[in-house]
Amino acid sequence: MSTTQPLRPGAAPDGEHLTLSELVRRTGVPASTIHHYRREGLIPAPERAAANRFCYREEHVEAITLIRLLRDRRGLSLDQIAHVLPELLSEGTLPEELETEVAEMGTEARERVIEVAIERFSTQPYADVTISDIAAAAGMAKGSVYRHFTSKEELFEAVINELVADTSSRFAAAVRGLGGSSGLADRPDEAAEVFAGLVARAMPILLELGARAAKGHDASDVLARQVLRTLAEAAGRPLDDHDPIKAGLGIIERAFATVLTWAVGTDWPPDGPEQH
């Protein structure tokens, strides 16, 4: 028998009701689908708060989350789900493997949103990008995006953090492939070119961040400073472990000049497996 993990309480305390729009946001499932699940008897009937207003509870979130998992990841039909769902919900616990799949489903969705957002923020001004467009391109409901990111601003920051972390880890791997720190210590120009190739993917979004900071957006200014320090340390540590920030700023200056040269020349976008 598998071990189990506790679910959230099946019923929220009095006063902790959810509107239909909040239920859509929490589950990422469209209202029309929720109504369909209710008509099919898959989820409990909501409480009527007014003539045209219903209230939902955590038990509805739990049931809809399980239905999504059983349909999307297990491939069960609604008839099959109707057969197994009551037993899964009755004990207030989930088998460990299902609990793991719920977590994985959320992680996969979050990663998909970030990848789509990277493409959108790289090709469109920040103001032109909408959560609706990102959700549609990711193949999910708008509410699903808001389950992971409370705003476009938060998603933009997550995109930048993802790109910075990816650039840093790839540069560290590239340094190892070129003979390690000692192999690049006397070749800053080569190190800068390698770093340029890796940071090129992030450049449009980093420039957007810089523009927002220059216009007086305080959160962007703070984030831009954090990003510069992180990238400088990642770039400089292979060359100077004692003062990586100073060494990294030199690498970044050369790297950005290289990327800008590519951008206005015939070498854009840069080729090579390290860009992907």
Q: Quick one: pLDDT band at residue 183, thresholds 50, 70, 90?
A: low
Domain 7-94: which CATH number of 1.10.1660.10, 3.40.50.1000, 1.20.1050.140, 3.40.640.10: 1.10.1660.10
Longest dimension (CA), the chain: 76
Of 32, 13, 274, give the one whose Cα is nearest residue 167. Answer: 274
> Does the pLDDT value for residue 8 go beyond 50?
no
Question: Tokens 């560290």 sit at which residue?
Answer: 172
Name the fold adopted by 101-148.
Arc Repressor Mutant, subunit A (1.10.10)
- Where are the chain's structural domains? 7-94, 101-148, 152-275
End-to-end, the C-alpha distance of the chain in Å comes to 44
For the segment 18-46, what is each residue's pLDDT rounded down to a tens digit? 888 888 877 778 888 888 898 888 888 88
Q: Across residues 7-13, what is the average pLDDT? A: 38
Q: Quick one: pLDDT band at residue 216, thresholds 50, 70, 90?
A: very high
For the segment 46-86, what is each residue's pLDDT rounded down to a tens digit? 888 776 778 888 888 888 888 888 887 778 888 888 888 88
Number of residues that this document lists for the chain: 276
Q: Quick one: pLDDT band at residue 3, thresholds 50, 70, 90?
A: very low
**Do 101-148 and 7-94 fall under one CATH topology?**
no
pLDDT confidence of residue 187: 75
Calculate the alpha carbon distances from 246 to 146, 190, 206, 229 in Å: 39, 17, 20, 10
Q: Which helix (H) or strand (E) holds 55?
A: strand 53-55
